Copies of this chain bind each other. A is one copy, B any other.
Amino acid sequence: MSSLKEECGVVGVFGDPEAANLIYLSLYALQHRGQEACGIITLDEGRMFAHKAFGLVGDAFNREVLQKLVGDRGVGHNRYSTHGGRSMQNIQPFYFKTPYGHFALAHNGNLTNANDLRKKLEAEGSIFQSSSDTEIFMHLVAKSRADSILGRIKEATKQVRGAYSLVILTEDRLFALRDPFGFRPLVLGRKGGAAIVASETCALDLIDAKFEREVAPGEIIEISAEKIQSHINGQRPEQRHAFCSFEPIYFARPDSVIFSEPLYEVRKNLGRELAAESGVEADVVIAVPDSGVPMAIGYSQKSGIPHEVGLVRNHYIGRTFIEPTQSIRDFGVRLKLNPVESVLRGRRVIVVDDSLVRGTTSVKILRMIRSAGAKEIHVRIGSPPITHSCYYGVDTPSRDKLLAAQKNVKDICEFIGADSLAYLSVDGLQRALNDQAKTKYCYACFSGNYPEEICSEILPQPTDAKGPGLRAKC
C-alpha cells in the first residue's frame, strides 16, 4: 500500500469507428495510474471533439458525452491526484489548432529541463496555458521550422530531457513515442484493423485488443491509415535503459505485462527473494493489500508458512470522508482496512508490504494488527529502502520526508512498531526483475544513481502551479 503516486495513464486509438468508447474503457482499465482527472479527444473529418473533467473515468463520462466524441481516432489521459489546488487547464490531453491542422497530445512522465525551456519560450512570446511540463512539448512543435509533423516532433524530442511516453494525434496520424531511456511503459496493440497504444496491457485486455509489442525506448511509431512505421527518436537510443522499477513493484496492475515481464510473477518473485533473504519463524503470512498480495503468496510458498487474509479492504471508498471530532485512533487507515481478529490473535505474523515511503500508514496498520491480538509482527518489504527522490514522474516526497533517507533500519523498525523489519536487497530486486546486468531498470530512488545528471538545484515552480511538482535544472 505504497503512498507513491504516478503521473498518468495514456491511450491512443486509430482506425476504429468507436474510438471514444475504446479510449474510455482503456482509461477505465488504467484508472490506477491516475484518479484526479481524465480526458478524451477525438478527431473526425477535420474537427476535434474534447471532454475533460475532474474525477474518475466512470463519473466523468456518460453515454451522451461519449456519443459526441465522434471519429475513428483519438487520445486519452488519466491524471493522478495531487493534494493541493487543481486546475482545469492542467487536464490532458492538451490540444491546439495549427496552420497544418489539429494537434493533441497525452503525456506520461516528467521532463527534467522543463524550467529552462519554458523560460526561453516565454521570452520569445509563447503563451502558456498550464503549469504542466507537457505544454512545453507543444510549443516546441509549434515553433519548429521542420516541414512535416514528424520532423517537428523529432526537433522537439531533441530539446527535451527526462521521461516521456507520449501519444500524439494529428489530422491523419497517431504517433506513439518513448524517451530513449524508456522510463515509462507504452505498448502497441491491434483490434481488428485498428491500432491501439496504451500505458499497460490490461487496457488492451479489457477492450479485447491483441498485445503486439512494446513501443521501444527511443522509438517513434507513426500510425496512418496506410501503414505503421517505426522511426528512431531524435536522440540516439542508448545501450542503457532505465525502466522504472516501481512500475512492477507497485504502480502497474498485476495482470499487466510491462517491460516484457508478467507482473504477477515478478511480484511473487519479490516475495520469494524476500523469504530467502530474510526468513523468520512465524505462524502466518499476511499482505497489506493489494500490491502486497502476490508478494505474500510468494513469501508463503517459499517459506511454507501459510498465507491468510489478515486485513480486509473496504471496496466502497468514497471521495472524502468526514472524520468525527472525537478521535478514532488510526481513522484514515480503518476506513480502508480492517484486521481479521481470528487470523491474528495469538499468532506470530509476517506482514508483507510493497514499500515504505513515509511510514506513517505502516505505524497505524501495525497498531491495528497488534490490537487485534498479534503476538509478534515481522514486517517484510518487497523493495529496498527509498533514499532518493524521483525526477522522472513519480511523486516521491522530498528527502527529509523519506523515512529511509532519515533513519536506519533498526530505527525504522522501532518507529513503525514491528518486532522485526527487513527490506529486500537491491540484488534481490534485480534478480526478481531478471536484471542482473543492471542495464534495464532505473534504481535511482534506492541508490541516488540517476541515469542522467540531475542538478542539485531544485527550482521553485515556474508559475503559481497548484501541484507539488518536482523540477530539476542543470
Contacts and interface: CB of A to CB of B under 8 A. Distances in A.
A126 interface: yes
Interface stretch (A339-347, A406-414, A451-459): A339-347
Interface in A343-392: 343
A221 B444 CA distance: 56
A228 to B, nearest CB: 21
A126 B97 contact: no
A208 B328 contact: yes
Contacts of A281: none
Nearest to A31: B316
Interface stretch (A107-115, A157-165, A182-190, A317-325): A317-325
Interface string A294-326: 100100010000111100101111111111111
A463 interface: yes
A21 interface: yes
Nearest to A123: B99
A402 to B, nearest CB: 27
A215 B97 CA distance: 36
Given A126-B126, A301-B306, A319-B59, A338 B205 contact: yes
Contacts of A301: 306
Contacts of A138: 127
A129 B58 contact: no
Interface stretch (A60-68, A166-174, A243-251, A424-432): A60-68
A22 interface: yes
A386 to B, nearest CB: 24
Interface string A232-269: 00000000000000000000011101000010110000
A403 interface: no
A326 B301 CA distance: 42
A335 B28 contact: yes
Contact of A142 (B31, B125, B306, B464): B125
A227 interface: no
A324 B21 contact: yes
Contact of A255 (B32, B265, B329, B338): B338
Contacts of A142: 125-127
Nearest to A330: B208
Contacts of A97: 122, 128, 463-464
Given A99-B122, A262-B341, 5 more contacts: A28-B314, A35-B316, A59-B318, A208-B329, A315-B315
Interface of A: 16, 18, 21-22, 24-25, 28-29, 31-32, 35, 46-48, 56-59, 61-63, 66, 88, 96-99, 119, 122-129, 138-139, 142-144, 202, 205-208, 253-255, 257, 262, 264-265, 290, 293-294, 297, 301, 306-309, 312, 314-326, 328-329, 334-335, 338-343, 463-464
Considering the complex of A and B, which 4 residue pairs feature the smallest CB-CB distances, nearest first? A58-B318, A125-B143, A262-B342, A31-B316
